[in-house]
Amino acid sequence: MIGKFPDDAWDLLSPSMTESRRGRLIRAAENRTGHIRLVVQDIHHPHNISACLRSAEAFGVARVDVVCLKEKFEPSTVAKGVAEWLQIQKHDTITGCVADLRQQGFILAAGYPDATTSMFDLPVDRPIAVVFGNEHEGVAKEWRDHIDIPFSIPMVGLVESLNISVSAAVTLSQLTRKARIELGDERYLLPDQERKTLLSAWACQQLRSWETQLEMLRIRKYS
C-alpha cells in the first residue's frame, strides 16, 4: 500500500533501474486515473479481495477503499504484490468512507441485482466510486441512504449473479473505458504532480533501505 514518500525519490532512484523496469513503471503511472474509485466492503475470502485489487490495478484505478465492518483486510497471494502499486485506504465505518469520498467530489454507485440502471449507463462526467459488498450478504443496508445510483450488470445467460471479483472487474473495465473516451486524457488521467508522487512511492517501495540511498544520492548531487 502506498504511503507518503519524498517527491524527489523518483528522480534520484530511478536511474539505477533497468531501462525496461523504468519504462514499465512510467507507462503504468501515465495510465493511472483518480476519476474512478473502487470500494469494497467486508469481502470474506482473501482470494476475492486480492482479485478485486488486481482488477483495479490492471484497469489503471489508482485508489481503492476497503471498508472493514466485520471482516479483516487480508489480501492473498493471488494479488502477487499488487497492493504495493495501489493507494489503499482502510475504513472502520461506512459513514467515514462516505465522508472521505464526498469531500473529494465522488458520486457513489453500488451493485444490486435488482437495480434498474445498467452498468453501461453509469455517468462518468463526475468522479465516481463503485461499491461492492460481501459475497453472501451483498452491499450492507447502511449504504442505501448514501448511494446515488444503484446499478446492475446486464446478463443474458442462465446464471443470476457473478462472483464479487468478477463483478468488480467487469464494472471497472466498462467504466474506465467509457470515462477515458468521454473525458479525454487531460481530465481522466492523474495530474503530472500526482503521477510523479506515485512514481516516487513506487521507487522507494522497491528498496528496503531507500532512506539511506536517498540521503547518499542527495549528498552526491548537491556536494
pLDDT tens track for 188-202: 999 999 999 999 999
If asked whether residues 51 and 82 sit together in one domain, one would say yes
Mean pLDDT calculated for residue range 34-53: 92
**Least confident interval from 26-30, 64-68, 101-105, 152-156:** 152-156
Helices within 61-190 (DSSP H only): 94-103, 164-183, 185-188
Specify the number of domains making up the chain.
2
If asked whether residues 167 and 93 sit together in one domain, one would say yes
Q: Give pLDDT, residue 83.
A: 85
All cell numbers assigned to 77: 497471494
If asked whether residues 112 and 27 sit together in one domain, one would say no
If asked whether residues 7 and 81 sit together in one domain, one would say no
Sign of CA dihedral 73, 76, 79, 83: positive
CATH code of the domain covering residue 120: 3.40.1280.10
If asked whether residues 38 and 80 sit together in one domain, one would say yes
State which residues form the domain around 201. 1-32+192-223
DSSP reduced 3-state for 39 = strand
Judge whether 198 and 190 are in contact, CB under 8 Å: yes
Judge whether 94 and 129 are in contact, CB under 8 Å: no
All cell numbers assigned to 176: 474506465
- Number of residues assigned to the chain: 223
Q: Give pLDDT, residue 47.
A: 85
